[in-house]
Chains A and B, each alone.
Chain A
Amino acid sequence: MLRVKQLSKFFNGFAAVKEVSFQANGGEIFGLLGPNGAGKTTTIRVIATVLTPTSGTAEVASFDILKAPEKVRQNLGLLTSEIGLYDRFTARENLRYFGNLYGLAGQALEDRIDYLVEILDMQKFADRRAGKFSTGMKQKVAIARSIIHDPKVIIFDEPTAGLDVLASQTVIDYMQTARKEGKLVVLSTHDMAHAQKLCDRVAIMHQGKIIAVDSQAKIYQQTQADNLEDAFLKILGADAAKSALKAKEAFELRWLSKKHKRFGL
């Protein structure tokens, strides 16, 4: 359902994402893990057609992001890490506007909004203006907004950030329901405990590259760890050591060549 092929994204010569490839299918929760600045959000934005790739491509529900960006957007629900609502609109009005933009209207849209209000437990504030909402309330509306069109692929970027335990549980329940319905849920997070509990498979990103993609069990086996956090740290540590070694070698090479030049060799 989601196929990322050799995807790269450069910003003014800086490689934020380098030749990333992975695949994830319907009926699974796929974790996209990595430290801050690893390139997760950029990868997600390219997949969501908000940014254009420098090279490579991706397919969402068999639609290519370059050839059919509007079809991709119609089949993809993305919750970004930066949530914002229209302050002068109520929660329902916010949802209705986006529903309309996704081509939904009339009773079908109202039913969908009612359904989302119920499963995300928003009855108390659904008809209040969003300006004075707490972070948790905003987050719930943003989640509802991202799945208003009932997409096949759902990408959640830090969905539980700023939520209390109860609200987090609501979101987690929703992700599990979506998996049962055969959707693909991509979860991008720092929260290893949640990732460990939810994800069927995980991809670990570091410095713009994917350094591991596998099921949790296989990753534990490779790293000889018994939880995701340890495994994550070990993989990251190994990668950092590798790149440090590379950098050292490169530095020594430069140094040597300079020395050679100096002595006229």
Chain B
Amino acid sequence: MNKVFTVFKKEILDSLRDRRTLLTAVVMPIVLMPAIMIGSVKFQEAQITKAAEKPVLLAVENQQSAPTLLDFLNKQKQVELKQVENFDQGIEAGTINVYLNVETDFEANLKTQKPTEVRVVQKSSNVDSSTAYSKVINLLQAFNQEQARIRLSQKGLATETLSALKPVSVDIATAQERGGFFIGLLLPMFIVVFAIAGGMYIAIDVSAGEKERKTLEALLLSPASRLQLVAGKFAAVAATASASIILSMFSLYFAFKFFPPKFGTEVVEINLTLGAIGIMLLVGVIMAIMFSGLLLSVAIFAKSYKEAQNYITPFYLLAILPVAIFAQLPGLKPSLGMFFIPGVNAVFVMKEVLIKTFDSAHIFITFGSLIIYAVIAVIAASKIYSKEGILFRD
């Protein structure tokens, strides 16, 4: 036990002096994760407000023949009326987004209550133009309703007579769920990434690194057993990966506390109670332990740093890919079987916890299967370490 601790202490100290490990395991999760999360939220917010505030640049061809319509459009805050020489070129140049082509008999038809064609000209391949187009269509609809109201009231009828039904939109997702849905995509993904990335450099350093520096043989010559050596190294990798996850979660917690994300006018609440954080940390740490065992098993096959990185890259993709796919499917209801897939199960449990819809069976299966995988990974690593062919593959 003493020797296990000796190895553990040495590997931790060694990796603390290694800039690469420090960067991937400590600096990245503290700085990068909140930066990306908060950054993407703020970016989205900014995009939404920008799009909402931007007025439609509108021109009307034959505007002298439609004074009523022009008057209506002038009152709209979302519209900025423009004068241009050539309407099509105006859209191309961006001086206007959309223009209306009004027939000369528009005003006369309005008086006699006959509908007149108004062409709404847009360029659908231009994003600004097509966004403005739908806004203009809505406005013209509003103009129609306004006219209908006037005509009906002249005949002594209420506007309601025209409406058979009144659709009312209701969203039963709570603010928490909407927040959790967004956070449920990115946050768990990052946690899986950090569970691997946090332990990656130290895993390579303690296994393939020992071979590359030619210190492995001296280590094997010591009276410490192979199992003690693996246990110490494994503990160091697992501790680093866990620390990386814990750091990233706390840093994220504080980031969200001080910069709560907003969508439109609503402040989105995220379930960051102590219990939720506790469950997420536990899932994260067990996952880190499991990935550490796997990383150590993979990296020991390599003779050098470079080779180890080559082996770990496909492993990394293999672990991340299902997570990336499943986490991106918005309406996916995970089946019970999915909670046996390492990484994916953690993502779903975290998502459920974040939006407070968790199922104790899911949490139980996730914990259970992750612990079993972790044990298998550790046993595999120590078996591989007692194979002389792998240790002396010159």
Contacts and interface: CB of A to CB of B under 8 A. Distances in A.
Interface stretch (A30-38, A97-105, A190-198, A253-261): A97-105
A98 B222 contact: yes
Contacts of B17: 88-89
Interface residues of B, number: 23
Contact of B222 (A45, A83, A101, A142): A101
Contact of A70 (B13, B14, B18, B223): B223
Contacts of A52: 388
Contact of B213 (A45, A73, A80, A85): A85
Interface in B197-237: 213-225
Contacts of B216: 84
B3 interface: yes
B392 interface: yes
B18 A146 contact: no
Interface residues of A, number: 29
A13 to B, nearest CB: 13
B10 interface: yes
Contacts of A101: 3, 6-7, 219, 222-224
A73 B18 contact: no
A152 interface: no
B6 A82 contact: no
B214 A82 contact: yes
Given A74-B223, A87-B213, A88-B18, A146 B392 contact: no
**Which of A70, A97, A102 neighbours the largest number of chain B CB atoms within 10 Å of its CB?**
A97
A100 B10 CA distance: 10
B78 to A, nearest CB: 63
Interface in B5-35: 6-7, 10, 13-14, 17-18
A173 to B, nearest CB: 23
B213 A84 contact: yes
Contacts of B220: 50
A92 B393 CA distance: 30
A84 B218 contact: yes
Contact of A145 (B13, B18, B218, B225): B218
Nearest to B228: A101
A124 B6 CA distance: 27
Contacts of B7: 101
Interface string B82-95: 00000000000000
A50 B224 contact: no
A230 B220 CA distance: 37
A110 B174 CA distance: 65
A70 to B, nearest CB: 5
A78 interface: yes
Contacts of A82: 214, 217
Contacts of B18: 88
Contacts of B213: 84-87
Contacts of B14: 86, 88-89
A51 interface: yes
A48 interface: yes
Contacts of A48: 221
A197 B232 CA distance: 44
A97 B214 contact: no
Nearest to B214: A84
A50 B223 contact: no
A73 B222 contact: yes
Contacts of A103: 223
Contact of A80 (B3, B10, B217, B388): B217
**Which of A45, A83, A98 neighbours the largest number of chain B CB atoms within 10 Å of its CB?**
A98
B26 to A, nearest CB: 16
Contact of B215 (A45, A50, A78, A85): A85
20 contacts: A45-B217, A45-B392, A50-B220, A73-B221, A76-B221, A80-B217, A80-B218, A82-B214, A83-B214, A84-B215, A84-B216, A89-B14, A97-B6, A97-B10, A100-B3, A101-B223, A102-B222, A102-B223, A142-B218, A145-B218
Interface of B: 3, 6-7, 10, 13-14, 17-18, 213-225, 388, 392
Given A74-B223, A80-B218, A101-B6, 8 more contacts: A51-B388, A52-B388, A80-B214, A84-B214, A84-B216, A85-B215, A88-B17, A101-B7
| The 10 A-B residue pairs with the shortest CB-CB distance in the complex, in nearest-first order | A84-B214, A101-B222, A88-B17, A84-B213, A84-B215, A100-B6, A82-B214, A73-B223, A74-B223, A70-B223
